[in-house]
Structure 1
């Protein structure tokens, strides 16, 4: 009878399974049946809950969802809720070494799994193995109890009594009592008979236990049939609403995708705005300093120099952009080496009042500038000072030095 019920259930319901889950950007899944055999091992990326549920539903009936941390993550709770399954969590978070050892021990008998395991499915497998280990003693007690009831000798006696017209209950009771009676009639010394009497009492207890077990199995049989009807009804309901559920899910995913794209665009615009505001603030600060220094220069005969870091075309353009260099501004080239006639030509377009050089300049560039009336001075000839981080020189010192070189200009 039990075999028939079991066969019926297995034909309509997938094998019960302990499913280990390793959530994250990549989701690891490992399902083991209740005899510790692998049913389904896989990693998912991207993680679509609909796909995970569909794949697991087609392979097994999850009854326990396991993870490797003490507090179950949200993804584990969602999967357990969808399958109406319990959740297993260890008493403490599993260490990397514990997970490696459990998986390696398990793979000794199943080396073919090595080809399908990755980091995520391996962690999921360790979660399932940990859950199975916690129930191992209880599973063994169930197997030992059912094994005792299904021994070949015991079945032979029961079947013989049933062939004689006895009911199953009566056949079970009679078979056990006959075994006990044969032990009592055995002609042995007194001390041996006392042992047999004890064994007889033990056998009678087993008969009663067997009857109680049979009654429990009958009740379980009825419960299984009832549960089977519920499962079939639920499956039909889920099948009828599956198309609608998929449409709703697709709409939700599309809506979420549009929202994410809009959020990214807003964040990018905010970043650009912050960059622009910082640049405006920097330029405004520089402009204020320049105006302040210019006013101080008018009062104290100081000339503000516009600094150019390097005598290259890029260096000149950078100074124009950062320092607001305009035609007629006096310049201070900190590193005058490197540039040639093309860079000198760009300076001629600005027509600076004069140029102070921080280092030596190439002969061709220097010649082009002087021939076109641009006065050149070395920082060794006039002292360059810094006022609020901006270079300045004494107007008097510049005029005297240029006069000594025979250069006169009303602009000075």
Structure 2
């Protein structure tokens, strides 16, 4: 990768009298190969000739006054060259702050060459934002290379020659676009003998357009990229910012996000958002590496969010008072207590890792993204593993003092740097061994304590399980007891009614049971409440809606008498006579109704039974006669059939 890093030495693009001069640092394949002073004109010549991957600047205002001038400048860039603003996008930070993030230091911030060297190192390490002014479309304009002028006798032939050349070049470009498969729109402006101008609007950037050669003396060809309405800044590599996130769950959800320097990135609270909405909100702010809470036990909501991002949890050793939380968050602005608690949790997590960050920053070379190193440390990687896995990709990115042509000097400097790194790592390894011994002793003590706690908690859990089982059984028995008590009350009431019913049967009165209508539902309700016994007398208020099921219930219960109040049905009378159940019309006897019971005089009932019995005998004789007649007719029919067969 070749990177141009620039910083203004003197002058300004806004000045008409004093044009700018730049300090230029060129890095190629992780080595500094050039350091010198150039004008803007010479800088552009080197960019066009050497085709660097990145032109890195402190601010785009150093190379252009406005967007139009920046577009004109970038139109000259090779297709693979990117413009990178290392101090940020629309929101910029100072170069010192950005350089610190990549462990790059420079002694004199007023030295343009020091700043240009830092700018190149940051861009090479993947820092900064790519500046984009072109959209993903391009225009190819084929036009006359020279003016026809007034001319003389051969003027028409001369015009035909130029316009014919424009036509031929337009067709050549169109064939090339068809072969490459690019989508395009074409506009043609006719002229004498051909075309004055041909325009192609292509759905693709300049890098997608194939080469089709120059235009020649009579034709000129221009390629222009489509221009964006507004400058767009895209972070290099597309990596999201690593965050320390503090969360206060509950009815009102509070969330705070800090970067590794404890800068507040986001702070919000709401009662209207679900866990899924909060996960999306947090992901927009960046990539959470630590998810912290101010509780001594992590709530389930915080646990879900932690798992969603595969983040490292942070739980304080003990919960703090409101006064302590106010003290820790005093330097920040928040809207409510929920935002304050979330911010406090994030700050406590940052405080816990702050010293560890400082210790490892001393051990790594310049030009390395400290966010990656800190993230590895948080996720439990040892310093050796971090230096072994993360740094090899960028270990050669440390700026050196080598100038063009002095290769041996750069090699010696690199050896000295590596030897110093080895010494630092050995000292750090010895320090870690001592810490490891202390940690082993602490782990043994904590394991003993944990075993004791587990045995106590196991006994508590066993006792709680037994209590819970017994309570569940008690609930079941209580439910059965309440059901039995209700059933007992119902049976006692039924016994009381039956006693009163039995008392009425003595003497000259005979009791009967009352139902509103002769239906199966009324009979089953009577069965549930008082029972239907053999020899009972039942009074039905009306017989409308009777059916075979109701008659069958009367027959199966051996009911002696059915008294009907009104709407007597002849079919019902025949059905009951067939089952030998007495049917008495209420109009033929005197009744006394008392709710669900009634009584009738014994003498009246006996006379009604006598009358029904005489009618029953006639009914049975008529049935016998009908049956005998049916048998005779059937016999006669069979004899007639036999005669006809014979």
* TM-score, structure 2 normalization: 0.29
Q: Which has the higher helix share?
A: 1
Q: Which has the higher strand share?
A: 2
* TM-score, structure 1 normalization: 0.42
